[in-house]
A and B are shown apart, each in its own frame.
Chain A
């Protein structure tokens, strides 16, 4: 077992709620190199030969297994680009726990660009959890620019659960998803920015397959002088249905834009978009204060649960 330093362990606790262990299938990337990795009977991880990254092969007998592939960057001034591909075989049932934490103690920008592609075969069920976190006492920026491409075959199910709660100065998220016949997509995106942070999230969902469906929920809190832009786009190319819901709480001097785009290219494509931006409701604050909380405590409870 590889010994991990305290900073790495601290970051892993932030980005891997299930608890990172050097057991089963795992790969820990640290400052651009694979610090440790392991395979399981059904999940094999191979290092790419042509570019940085890994190929993860999940066979059809995988049932209820987890694979953990966290990334830690604690070298100030580093730009780490990684290409990870996941091949999930027919009938597999797997949870992939990713996530990236940047600890920047210096004055230079630290950046991680994770380009992840998922090839989900017929009937496979994938849950993908990705948590982003920034820390460290340095003045250098912490930048995370994830790209997520998901290709879903017939009757595949994909749950994408992403969260960026604190410490990331700039993020630009690009997500592209293609759904085959009867495929089901569930997305939960949670984002909080503070101080002068910036976040942009572009998501395009192409529903190509008959009877495919997508549920996309985005919840964000924008504080300080930070800014966020959401651009979810759902395209119905066949008989399908989708529901896109974006809710944002705005505070202080922050700015948030929600730019929904729904596009039907088939008579039986049913796509709904809901978007709401607003400050914390006074009635919610008052209700929690009648339970004995201060205004600040009540505000924190509302935000914590909203992003839960």
Chain B
């Protein structure tokens, strides 16, 4: 499904080049859930953005279903089947919730369909359908709506960047159920960037990214005990910082 080979991403800060993602290689299989975790500032979100084409790789290859998409732009990758949920989703003045979800699903949604989508991320549909996606929505509401936009249509691969951030416990439980449901069907591959133990425990495989490199990658059964038994790693999982 997804093959990432020797991926490198650099930024230029005041004339000084700095590597954010350093020669990373990994694969994600059909229907597999890969959870990426690790300390803040380690390069997880940057890696996700490079996979989606939001940032351009400086070296390496990204292959989706056998096709090289490294040089494809964002919309081509989206049309090739990659969905992306932002850590901090943008607001749209004048756009209603139902319009945004219709755009995300690629067709006009009925109120009923929209209600179902909103309900799946813990938003009470009747209150939200005609609301504007603007500053009147809280950070948590925006985050749940963002996740709904990715779940609005099936993808080959969905990338969620810290889906748990800013979400209350009740909604988080609903979200976990959604991920479990998608994962169980094995129709979509999932990459979740997370510090949350409940999400990490859902993974088929876990990849730890530290300082732009893969610190560890393997089956959940192999990686989780290491994460849980390391005092520093536990702290990292809870707080996202080391």
Partner-B contacts on A (CB < 8 A): 219, 247, 281, 283-284, 286-295, 301-302, 305-308
**Nearest Cβ distance between residue B117 and chain A, in whole angstroms?**
14
Contacting pair A292 B92 (CB below 8 A)? no
In which size bucket is the chain B interface?
A: 20 to 34
For window 78-115 of B, CB contacts with A under 8 Å fall at: 78-79, 82-84, 86, 89-90, 92-96, 99, 103-104, 106
> Are the C-beta atoms of B99 and A290 separated by less than 8 Å?
no
B149 contacts A306, CB within 8 Å?
no
Task: Give the chain B neighbours of A287 by CB distance below 8 A.
Answer: 86, 89-90
Pair B90/A308 contact, Cβ less than 8 Å: no
CA distance A20 to B13 in the complex (A): 60
* CB–CB B94/A286 < 8 A: no
Provide a sorted-by-A list of 6 A–B residue pairs whose CB atoms are within 8 angstroms.
A247-B93, A284-B90, A287-B86, A291-B149, A305-B92, A306-B94
Evaluate contact between B95 and A308: CB separation under 8 angstroms.
yes
Q: Are A305 and B84 in contact (CB under 8 A)?
A: no
Q: Across the interface, which residues of A come within 8 angstroms of B149, CB to CB? A: 291
Q: Is the interface of B mostly helix, strand, loop or mixed?
A: mixed
* Min CB gap B195→A, angstroms: 23
Complex Cα distance A297/B104, Å?
13
Residues of B within 8 A of A305 (CB): 92-96, 99
Q: Which residue of B lies closest to A306 (CB)?
A: B94
Closest to B90 in A: A283
Q: Which residues of A contact B89 (CB under 8 A)?
A: 287
Contact A292 B75 (CB under 8 A): yes
Closest residue of A by beta carbon distance from B85 = A290
A281 to B, closest residue via Cβ: B90
- List 17 additional A-B contacts (Cβ < 8 Å) besides A287-B89, A292-B75, A302-B92: A219-B93, A284-B90, A286-B54, A286-B90, A287-B86, A289-B74, A289-B75, A290-B52, A290-B74, A290-B82, A290-B83, A291-B78, A291-B103, A292-B78, A292-B79, A302-B95, A308-B95
